[in-house]
């Protein structure tokens, strides 16, 4: 390479990943492109031609990239190779990613670094298995700029009809997975047609050459326009000074800014920005810079915490979805635990569910899959022990990619999604000030002495149509006739008044349950047996409701599968949801998390109403009726069993 080119390479480069089915000509394409544009070191081609002659084999353009002896012997690319390359308009780093299915891990590593992708398709074979898989991987990794090259046109005599047929097949598949391409270019890597120059063999093609396509891609600048994200890599201590170090992934920070850390919800003012070599005058730093900061307050911050502005922090959640590509020889299964990493965050997670398994060949989906095998794509739900700072890939591509590890090995990777899940931070923000709790002179035990039973919350959760309200009303009548003061809180009734201002977004669902949990706790404190009948689809929200009255909260799972509930459909809601008239309907396009460890399971799919009512009534009596031998002296509601 020339000195001029080397200077160019020291500047920013657009990353282009090249993928496709094995033997469709990716490496040959790059080798020929480098040769035609004078980007090879002097004598490199001649050196390889001599080696080929000595071995008694024909020279292949792919040998220019096959850096390892083993690769030449196997005739497949097994590593991800980066090649600096320049057109007259721009600098590039081309990422030659392996196409063989045994080395998909390397392909993913390469594609994750790219700004745009080139999908190579053989004109003689068309769209094949790995073409589909690699195209889906580009989609999974969130690449928005994709071009297709249909290679080996020389082998089909540069036939325009063949090109159009393969082009149509390719477009059909890409559209089916949500990918669009503005450029589909016929080329011959062997002969150099339509790479850096147009050649004379395809006058019928009036579009751009491959180099023109490269130059037409929009240059992706540093994501400074996105909200600030500063994942903390480490905390250094120099005498009395604490320096938080890390790389700014998105946004910009300034000396004097208030920085907010997740998941601890602590904040402080930036007193200095450190860089190396030291520049005491540094007043700001932006995305892509590795820096240190000092704070005016010694708040608790450690590796994995994420700094942001106060107004626009990441979401907090202990549960999220991931669209993943599985790479491990050991299948992913529900209940398996893995380590996830994104940014500097590392956490243990458990697979809560395999929501959808996708066949990248024909895009068939399996919603009842029990495992995800190697090289398969799936949408899964992961649960962490603690709340994690989370940015969905749709809002922050820099931190929205996740890698799963099994031990020290990469097992899979993909994109984070929070679709259907609320920001758990927003439902736990105390706003009121100068508020003081009233201490009652009448204790729960005094009320129990008077009424003969304790107050408690019996939280009925289950899908719409499982029978929650029907059972709650029937149970209320029966225990009322047994002299228990009972009241049903029903989802529809509450939304007529108290929660009439709320919709059905994940955030509104969380707030709906938070309010109900507080109301139910107040009623139970007054001595009422509260029968709370709500879908309450998220385990985290039900746990918050339990926290309002932990000693007298009973989670009752009204169990019936989706098919059974949809078959009942007493309000016609499933029909409307299937028809698109109701959005974010639980079980259809919004998730339902069955209880991890409910206090009682009532199976309405297997049992009739009378049996279910009797089961619940017996459970309630066992937990609330006053036992004269047990009486708490501290005024707390107790659960008598």
Q: How far apart are CA 74 and CA 77, in angstroms?
A: 8
In angstroms, how far is CA 582 from the centroid of its own chain?
Answer: 24
Q: How far, in Å, are 383, 429, 569, 584 from residue 578 at the CA level?
A: 28, 35, 12, 11
Residue 248: its H or E element: none
Q: Assess contact for 487 and 523: CB atoms under 8 A.
A: yes
Distance (Å, whole) CA 112 – CA 19:
12
Collapsing DSSP states into helix, strand and coil, what is residue 493? helix
Question: In sequence order, what E strands does 105-222 have?
Answer: 116-122, 145-151, 183-186
Cβ within 8 Å of residue 1, ≥6 positions away: 9, 39, 40, 41, 84
Catalytic residue among 536, 590, 633, 639: 536
- Assess whether 536 carries a catalytic annotation: yes
H helical segments located in 2-43:
3-9, 26-36
How far apart (Å, rounded) are the C-alpha atoms in residues 278 and 297?
22
Distance CA 382, CA 326 (A): 14
Rounded Cα gap, residues 314 and 343, in angstroms? 13
Helix (H, G, I), strand (E, B) or coil at 25: coil
**305: which 2 tokens?**
């915490």
Q: How would you write 572-640 as a 3-class SS string?
A: CHHHHHHCCCCCCCECCCECCCCCCCCCEEEECCCCCHHHHHHHHHHHHHHHHECCCCCCCCCCCCCCC
Separation between Cα atoms, residue 531 and residue 543, nearest integer Å = 17
Q: Which residues of 108-135 are buried (b: 16+ CB within 10 A; e: fewer)?
A: bbbbbebbbbbbbbbbeebbbebbbbbb
- CB count in 10 Å sphere of residue 10: 9
Closest CA to 307 of 262, 341, 343: 262
**Class of residue 139 by CB neighbours under 10 A (exposed 0-12, middle 13-18, buried 19+):** buried
Residue in the block written with tokens 């068309």 = 126
Residues in the chain: 641
What is the distance between the alpha carbons of residues 306 and 264, in angstroms, rounded to a whole number? 9
Q: CB-based burial of residue 451 (10 Å sphere; 0-12 exposed, 13-18 middle, 19+ buried)?
A: middle
Contact of 416 with 321, CB cutoff 8 Å: yes
Catalytic residue positions, numbered: 536
């Amino acid at each position: 390479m020339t000195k001029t080119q080397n200077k160019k390479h020291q500047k920013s480069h657009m990353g282009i990943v090249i993928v496709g089915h094995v033997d469709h000509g990716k490496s040959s394409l790059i080798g020929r492109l480098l040769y035609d544009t004078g980007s090879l070191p002097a004598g490199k081609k001649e050196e390889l031609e001599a080696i080929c002659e000595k071995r008694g084999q024909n020279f292949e353009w792919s040998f220019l990239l096959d850096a390892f002896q083993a690769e030449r012997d196997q005739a497949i690319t097994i590593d991800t190779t980066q090649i600096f390359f320049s057109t007259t308009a721009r600098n590039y780093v081309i990422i030659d990613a392996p196409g063989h299915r045994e080395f998909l891990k390397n392909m993913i590593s390469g594609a994750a670094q790219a700004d745009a992708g080139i999908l190579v398709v053989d004109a003689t074979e068309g769209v094949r298995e790995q073409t589909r898989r690699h195209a889906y991987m580009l989609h999974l990794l969130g690449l928005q700029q994709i071009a297709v090259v249909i290679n080996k046109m020389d082998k089909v005599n540069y036939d325009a009809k063949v090109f159009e047929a393969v082009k149509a097949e390719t477009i059909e598949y890409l559209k089916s997975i949500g990918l669009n391409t503005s450029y589909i270019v016929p080329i011959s890597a062997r002969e150099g047609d339509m790479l850096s120059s147009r050649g004379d063999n395809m006058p019928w093609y009036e579009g751009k050459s491959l180099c023109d396509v490269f130059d037409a891609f929009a240059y992706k600048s540093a994501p400074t326009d996105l909200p600030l994200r500063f994942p903390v890599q480490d905390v250094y201590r120099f005498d009395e000074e604490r320096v938080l170090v890390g790389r700014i992934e998105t946004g910009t920070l300034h000396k004097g800014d208030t920085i907010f850390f997740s998941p601890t919800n602590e904040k402080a003012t930036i007193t200095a920005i450190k860089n190396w070599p030291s520049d005491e005058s540094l007043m700001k730093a932006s995305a892509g810079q590795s820096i240190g900061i000092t704070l005016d307050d010694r708040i608790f911050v450690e590796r994995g915490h994420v700094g942001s502005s106060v107004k626009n922090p990441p979401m907090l959640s202990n549960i999220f979805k991931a669209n993943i590509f599985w790479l491990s020889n050991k299948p992913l299964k529900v209940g398996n635990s893995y380590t996830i990493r994104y940014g500097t965050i590392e956490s243990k997670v458990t697979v809560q569910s395999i929501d959808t398994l996708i066949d990248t060949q024909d895009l068939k989906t399996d919603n009842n899959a029990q495992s995800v095998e190697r090289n398969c794509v799936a949408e899964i739900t992961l649960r962490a022990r603690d709340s994690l700072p989370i940015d969905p890939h749709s809002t922050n591509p820099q931190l929205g990619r996740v890698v799963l590890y099994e031990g020290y090995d990469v097992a899979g990777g993909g994109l984070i999604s929070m679709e259907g899940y609320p920001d758990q931070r927003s439902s736990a923000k105390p706003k009121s000030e100068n508020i003081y709790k009233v201490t009652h002179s009448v204790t729960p035990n005094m009320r129990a002495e008077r009424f003969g039973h304790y107050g408690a919350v019996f939280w009925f959760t289950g899908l719409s149509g499982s029978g929650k309200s029907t059972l709650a009303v029937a149970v209320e009548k029966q225990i009322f006739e047994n002299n228990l003061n009972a009241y049903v809180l029903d989802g529809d009734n509450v939304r007529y008044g108290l929660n009439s201002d709320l919709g059905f977004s994940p955030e509104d669902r969380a707030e709906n349950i938070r309010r109900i949990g507080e109301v139910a706790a107040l009623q139970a404190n007054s001595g009422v047996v509260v029968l709370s009948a709500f879908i309450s689809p998220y385990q985290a929200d039900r746990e918050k409701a339990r926290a309002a009255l932990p000693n007298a909260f009973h989670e009752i799972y009204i169990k019936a599968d989706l098919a059974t509930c949809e078959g009942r459909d007493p309000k016609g809601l499933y029909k409307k949801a299937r028809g698109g008239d109701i959005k974010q309907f639980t079980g259809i396009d919004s998730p339902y998390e069955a209880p991890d460890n409910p206090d009682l399971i009532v199976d309405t799919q297997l049992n009739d109403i009378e049996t279910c009512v009797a089961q619940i009534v017996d459970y309630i009596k066992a937990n609330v009726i006053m036992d004269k031998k047990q009486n708490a002296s501290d005024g707390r509601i107790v659960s008598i069993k």
